[in-house]
Structure 1
Amino acid sequence: MTDVRESGLRLDGVSVDRWLSARISELSASIVIELSEQLSTCASRPPAGLHGDTSGLVRSCMRLFIDTLRTGEPPGRRQLREIRESASLWADEGIPLEVLVSAYHLGVDVCAQSVVTAAEPEDLPAALQVACLLLRFLGQVMPEVLAGYLESRLATAVEEHGERRAVLSALLAGQPPEDAAARAAVQLPARYAVISLEIGPHPDELGTNDGDRAAAARRRLRRMRTEVERTASGTVLHMLSADGGLLLIPLDETAGGTASDTLAPHERDRLLVLADRLGCVTRAEVMAGAVPARPDAVASAARLAAEIRHVARASSRPAGIYQLGDVAFDYQMTRPGPARDHFATLLRPLATRPHLLETLRAFLSCGLDRRRTADRLHVHPNTIDYRLRRASALTGLDPARGCDLPVIYAAFAAGESGPTGPCPPD
């Protein structure tokens, strides 16, 4: 390609690089205006901040291109390093990545359009050469822009995660969290919803290839974190893995439940929405125990939430979010004593018939829906009916009878926690 310096392109009697240099202020102003119209994040910034931050970025981009245009040489190693460092600084300043990328692309587009518009017909080949050089320029600088920005954001994310984890650790240890919260810029709410979370398996994670399972687990964890941040309000503290973990979700200061250990209806509704969203993004069942607690009571609330979740799972409840009141009877049956020992024996007749025990457990966890149970166990619905009748005949407990249903739930829960229970853990 012919050197642009030898192309003879002149606009208003001067070389194209000098022509662009004289119009940096005018062109950068038009670019900032267009950015504010195209990008909601940019338009939401105060006008002074928008002009001061983004205009400086645009001017820097244009000057670098004009240097390339004047010398005919691509940006050197030192210039590329400066571009990467500059992008890192913009990330630290909170400029969104889409604004940064658009500033470079719009800067190139406006320069090309202005040159082509001002050129005479006989200068069109040289003007097109300038446009081609602009595209090559973008191809050289954009990888550095993205790398610098993402390196900075990753470092910031790691730092923020560590600071928030310190707040969570203090709360779980029962230590004063105020200093850690101040360092993390976390405003402690009056109450948290302390949630012990369990995410069921997904077929993608049951393959034989370790690499595939690990990749699926990473995708799941990333989606979970994204959904928690998107759905919950305030700063959520979490300790998550691909199969569950612990969430501390801020609750409204003015909206308490009817009791100290109960969520208000609208708070519970919000958590149900979150559980539904987590189920959608992971394509798996979500089981959780939830306990509202003041910051100084988070440690004990976390233990109770885990017990509630375990009891709900052990008693074959359907997937969902449970509070203590939802499983209070079953919870009490897991406490050591003669009552637990009695309930633990009720399903013992099924210990030698695991297919009947499995069917009864699945029927409860499927919300007493025989067709869903049949789909889960890959059998005909009539087979489910037959097995339930056999289980009822052996135990004297019929899940279709309202008075027997809580007893069956309690029997499963007691069997899970008791030393002689018939049911192996899930």
Structure 2
Amino acid sequence: MTVVGEVGLRLDGVSVDRWLSARISELSASIVIELSERVSGHASMPPAELHGNTAGLVRSCVRLFVDTLRTGGPPSRRQLREIRESASLRADEGVPLEVLVSAYHVGADVCAQSVVTAAEPEDLPAALQVACLLLRFLGQVMPEVLAGYLESRLATVAEEHGERRAVLSALLAGQRPEDAAARAAVQLPARYAVISLEVGPHPDELGANAGDRAVAARRKLRRMRTEVEGNASGTVLDMLSADGGLLLVPLDEEETTGGTLGETAADMLAPHEWERLLALTDRLGCATRAEVMAGAVPARPDAVASAARLAAEIRHVARASSRPAGIYQLGDVAFDYQMSRPGPARDHFAALLRPLATRPYLLETLRVFLSCGLDRRRTADRLHVHPNTIDYRLRRASALTGLDPARGCDLPMIYAAFAAGELEPVGPCPPG
């Protein structure tokens, strides 16, 4: 392999490292121009920043490469540490990582082009060696750039997450959140959509390997946060795990429905707000490739604690009443919600289906029959049995409970019994 020192590449009568050293300012200016034209993040920088801090960093990197040409060795530990610290500062300043990485490659490109352009034909082997050394130089410094940048960003994200979690904790505890919000630079909205989430498993979480399941769960959680934060105005507060959790999504407008929390009107969102939450739930389902069940309640910041409890209850009732995946508010499950409240009425209705407790396949058939709109063929398709089997099971259930879904006066009683929520299917339907 040709070595620059052995070939003695000379440009304008001097060695290449001296030639580059004498042109550091010129090269740095060219690199800055290329950055402003080729890298989108630099194009939007204020001129003072571009020709100040950025130009200074470029000059330092060119000097460091010249040192490696002169010594023939890699950058020293001190120099690599300085590169790492510089990248950490760029992260603190909010410079995007892709912009920082592109800057190093653009700088290497400009230096290589300048050497190749100035070289004579007989100097081509050594000029190519300079280009190879530039690639090696990038391989030595880029790990430090990435490590310094990511260390700073991870520390910042952890700090921001902790500060935002403090705001959420204050809201859930019914405390004044203003101080915590100020520390986290969070602007409290007039209202939040308080969302209780339940997220089913991603297909990869159903595998046998525990390590793969853990990776799939982490990826699902990351996609959830990305989807929520990327499609919400204002700062979203969350307490999420791979299985779901709590979201506080800012609502743009003042409450228009009137009333106070606990009254039906105040527990409903405006149509345009509801459309946004429906779309968010759909996107979460697509992003996670999992079933998403959610309850949502609008609330002022001082009512978040009670709204979170109500949202969780709405979600639970929607799940218990066999509703399909999606997001629900109180008006969607008001009957079931009320029937699930403790008291003698709930106990009475729950007792109506107790004779089916030891025959879960009859209970499940009755439940699916109701969810299929009393259509025996759809019920048979859902349960993978013959329609005659459905007829038989419904007759058996009617004989045991005294309730016949074909009788109009019995149907509300059966719905109420299921809404009471004390009996759940405990096993699969047997064949036939």
Q: After TM superposition, is the score higher than 0.5?
A: yes
User: Which moves more between the two structures, 35-44 or 281-290?
Assistant: 35-44
Summarize the Cα distance change of 1:215–1:322 in structure 2 as closer, same or farther, 3 Å threshold.
Answer: same
Summarize the Cα distance change of 1:318–1:65 in structure 2 as closer, same or farther, 3 Å threshold.
Answer: same
User: Which moves more between the two structures, 48-57 or 304-313?
Assistant: 48-57
For these two proteins, the number of residue pairs brought into alignment is: 419
Q: Counterpart in 1 of 2:262?
A: none
The aligned runs of 1:4-403 (5 Å cut-off) are: 4-254=4-254, 256-257=256-257, 259-361=265-367, 379=384, 382=387, 389-390=394-395, 393=398, 396=403, 398=405
User: Which moves more between the two structures, 99-108 or 202-211?
Assistant: 202-211
Write the letter of the residue equivalent to 2:15. S
CA offset at residue 272 of structure 1?
A: 1.1
Q: What is the CA–CA distance in structure 1 between the aligned matches of 2:50 and 2:372, rounded to whole Å?
A: 54
CA offset at residue 201 of structure 1?
A: 2.7
- Tell me, what secondary structure is at the counterpart of 1:246? strand
Summarize the Cα distance change of 1:83–1:307 in structure 2 as closer, same or farther, 3 Å threshold.
Answer: same
- Tell me, what secondary structure is at the counterpart of 1:260? helix
- Give the counterpart of 2:421 among 400, 411, 415: 415
TM-score by length of 2: 0.87
Per-residue displacement from partner, 1:194-241 (whole Å, max 9, x unpaired)?
Answer: 011101233422334322222222121111111111122211100001
Summarize the Cα distance change of 1:368–1:192 in structure 2 as closer, same or farther, 3 Å threshold.
Answer: farther
In 1, are the aligned partners of 2:191 and 2:254 still within 8 Å (CA)?
no
TM-score by length of 1: 0.88
- Tell me, what secondary structure is at the counterpart of 2:421? helix
User: Which moves more between the two structures, 131-140 or 385-394?
Assistant: 385-394
Q: What is the CA–CA distance in structure 1 between the aligned matches of 2:91 and 2:373, rounded to whole Å?
A: 49
Write the letter of the residue equivalent to 1:323. Q
Summarize the Cα distance change of 1:263–1:151 in structure 2 as closer, same or farther, 3 Å threshold.
Answer: same
Stretches of structure 2 that go unaligned for 5 or more consecutive residues are 259-264, 428-432
In 2, are the aligned partners of 1:238 and 1:246 still within 8 Å (CA)?
yes
CA offset at residue 114 of structure 1?
A: 1.3
Aligned-residue sequence identity (percent) comes to: 83
Write the letter of the residue equivalent to 1:414. A
User: Which moves more between the two structures, 405-414 or 154-163?
Assistant: 405-414
Summarize the Cα distance change of 1:74–1:327 in structure 2 as closer, same or farther, 3 Å threshold.
Answer: same
Q: What is the CA–CA distance in structure 1 between the aligned matches of 2:191 and 2:392, rounded to whole Å?
A: 46
User: Which moves more between the two structures, 59-68 or 356-365?
Assistant: 356-365
CA offset at residue 285 of structure 1?
A: 1.1
CA offset at residue 164 of structure 1?
A: 0.6
Summarize the Cα distance change of 1:266–1:196 in structure 2 as closer, same or farther, 3 Å threshold.
Answer: same
In 2, are the aligned partners of 1:84 and 1:148 still within 8 Å (CA)?
yes
- Tell me, what secondary structure is at the counterpart of 2:266? coil
- Tell me, what secondary structure is at the counterpart of 2:293? strand
In 2, are the aligned partners of 1:195 and 1:289 still within 8 Å (CA)?
yes
Q: Counterpart in 1 of 2:261?
A: none
In 2, are the aligned partners of 1:360 and 1:391 still within 8 Å (CA)?
no
CA offset at residue 403 of structure 1?
A: 8.6
Q: What is the CA–CA distance in structure 1 between the aligned matches of 2:184 and 2:161, rounded to whole Å?
A: 9
Q: What is the CA–CA distance in structure 1 between the aligned matches of 2:29 and 2:386, rounded to whole Å?
A: 70
